[in-house]
Structure 1
Amino acid sequence: MGMGVSVREAIAKRAAEEIKDGMVVNLGIGIPTLVANYIPSNIKVMFHAENGVLGTGPAPQKGEEDANLCNAGGIPMTVVPGASYFDSTLAFGIIRRGLLDVTILGAFEVSENGDLANWIVPGKIVSGMGGAVDLAQKAKKVIVLMNHTDKHGNPKIVRECTLPLTAKKCVNLIITDMAVIEVTEQGLSLIEVKDPYTVEDVINATGAELHVADFVK
């Protein structure tokens, strides 16, 4: 099942609810970049880009792009008041010191204890791991946005990852087109189910054991 625009947007919108005023946040490529569009105007966030910007803004209007101003994925961007520029060593210093409140990443697989595989599918062309390893290990909170299953219907939430790991035990929250799942010390906890799916549907589409929270939204 391909991912419609509205599904991607719905996932991004739900992820935006996790971002609170004053946070420093890094958004990965793919669906995570859409999260910036859903931050309410009264919430002030500093978005961090590992190529050396703190305070990235929305995509520029057509014709307004600045050739010198792009995000880590090479996409034109803008900056907000108070933004700062620095080299990539400082950008990674910010990550490695644990100064990011949240990082929002895509993933190929997440295991039941929060292991993340998101940087390579062996045999496929890969753009490089970028800051994925550092982000996954060091951010205070790691949120994964992804389809609940791959295009063949196989679960992406699994007992153990089969793909090369980005980092172990790093994921805190998984938001998919079907559900919101928290990674806890006791395992995976299903806290929200998206319309039109049922708890049963989510359990069947998940390759690991799910604890159903007392109050599923």
Structure 2
Amino acid sequence: MAARAAAELHDGYYANLGIGIPTLVANHIAPDIDITLQSENGMLGLGPFPDEIDVDADIINAGKQTITELPRTSYCSSADSFGMIRGGHIQLSVLGAMEVAENGDLANWMVPGKMVKGPGGAMDLVAGVKRIIVLMDHVSKNGTPKFRKSCTLPLTGTNVVDMIISNLAVFERPDRQSPFVLRELAPGATREAIAALTEAHYLEELS
């Protein structure tokens, strides 16, 4: 999923990667593509996710995961960092999700009844970043579809998701007034399996 998302990053982009699998996107960026990765805690120019020998506990992203820096890395206050996000200066953000609705609604910040430290920067990201890609397993641990007709969990944002990359398929829509289209199947996945494991309405246009 991380490798597939990396293919959506284009030369000159400023991009933000969410915690978890989205962080691994940094390890799959093509060497001939010049991308600047941004983190909400005030780091501009993140390097790849570190191997064990490269871990530096003082260099972390917004999710408190250790990360590496580059020769051009710079640091700023959280206020300046969120100014970049809210000001529309970030072209793309890759986020995880618990649910995505067929109209692009996103739920990824809390499950009612479970402890949560706060919404983090996700609400700012989906409101201020130009393009939102979601990486997620196609179904939850109990087998419930995560691409749904409507979200059942508290929303992070309404009509904000542009692309979904799951472990089974890729869905995309050309604009936020259009339905999602099934573009790609993961190796071993079939149209029938996707249909059985997806609650949301979507169109098909496989490449």
CA RMSD of aligned residues (A): 1.3
- Partner residue, 1:55: 45
Q: Are the structure 2 counterparts of residues 199 and 84 from structure 1 closer, same or farther at C-alpha, using a change threshold of 3 Å?
A: same
Corresponding residue to 1:100 among 90, 109, 112: 90
Bigger drift between 55-64 and 127-136 goes to 55-64
- Gaps in structure 1 of 5+ consecutive residues: 1-10
- Partner residue, 1:5: none
SS of corresponding position for 1:91: helix
Residues 136 and 166, structure 2, Cα contact 8 Å, conserved in 1: yes
How many positions carry a matched residue from both structures? Answer: 205
Corresponding residue to 2:119 among 121, 129, 140: 129
TM-score by length of 2: 0.94
Q: Are the structure 2 counterparts of residues 155 and 85 from structure 1 closer, same or farther at C-alpha, using a change threshold of 3 Å?
A: same
Q: Are the structure 2 counterparts of residues 52 and 153 from structure 1 closer, same or farther at C-alpha, using a change threshold of 3 Å?
A: same
- Gaps in structure 2 of 5+ consecutive residues: none
Q: Does 1:191 align with 2:183?
A: yes
For residues 209 and 65 of structure 1, the distance between their equivalents in structure 2, rounded to whole angstroms, comes to 43
Residues 172-183 of structure 1: pairs in structure 2 closer than 5 A? 172-183=162-173
For residues 159 and 193 of structure 1, the distance between their equivalents in structure 2, rounded to whole angstroms, comes to 20
Q: Are the structure 2 counterparts of residues 60 and 178 from structure 1 closer, same or farther at C-alpha, using a change threshold of 3 Å?
A: closer
> Structure 1, residues 128-171: CA drift from partner, whole Å, max 9, x if none?
21100000111111000000111111110111111100000000
Bigger drift between 28-37 and 57-66 goes to 57-66
Q: After TM superposition, give the deviation of residue 81 of structure 1 in Å.
A: 2.5
Read off the aligned partner of 2:126 and give its amino acid letter.
A
Residues 38-187 of structure 1: pairs in structure 2 closer than 5 A? 38-62=28-52, 64-183=54-173, 184=175, 185-187=177-179
- Partner residue, 1:7: none
Corresponding residue to 2:198 among 196, 201, 206: 206
Q: After TM superposition, give the deviation of residue 62 of structure 1 in Å.
A: 3.7
For residues 40 and 109 of structure 1, the distance between their equivalents in structure 2, rounded to whole angstroms, comes to 29
Q: After TM superposition, give the deviation of residue 74 of structure 1 in Å.
A: 1.6
Q: Does 1:37 align with 2:27?
A: yes
Following TM superposition, the consecutive aligned residue runs of length 4 or more in structure 1 with deviations greater than 4 angstroms are: none
Residues 143 and 173, structure 1, Cα contact 8 Å, conserved in 2: yes
SS of corresponding position for 2:79: helix
SS of corresponding position for 1:26: strand
Read off the aligned partner of 2:188 and give its amino acid letter.
P
Residues 203 and 210, structure 1, Cα contact 8 Å, conserved in 2: no
Q: After TM superposition, give the deviation of residue 127 of structure 1 in Å.
A: 3.2
Residues 95 and 132, structure 2, Cα contact 8 Å, conserved in 1: yes
For residues 66 and 25 of structure 2, the distance between their equivalents in structure 1, rounded to whole angstroms, comes to 16
> Structure 1, residues 166-215: CA drift from partner, whole Å, max 9, x if none?
000000000001100013423121111112111121111111111111xx
Q: Are the structure 2 counterparts of residues 212 and 83 from structure 1 closer, same or farther at C-alpha, using a change threshold of 3 Å?
A: same
Q: State the percentage of identical aligned residues.
A: 47
Q: Are the structure 2 counterparts of residues 44 and 119 from structure 1 closer, same or farther at C-alpha, using a change threshold of 3 Å?
A: same
Residues 123 and 156, structure 2, Cα contact 8 Å, conserved in 1: yes
Read off the aligned partner of 2:162 and give its amino acid letter.
N
Q: After TM superposition, give the deviation of residue 63 of structure 1 in Å.
A: 5.0
For residues 102 and 186 of structure 1, the distance between their equivalents in structure 2, rounded to whole angstroms, comes to 19
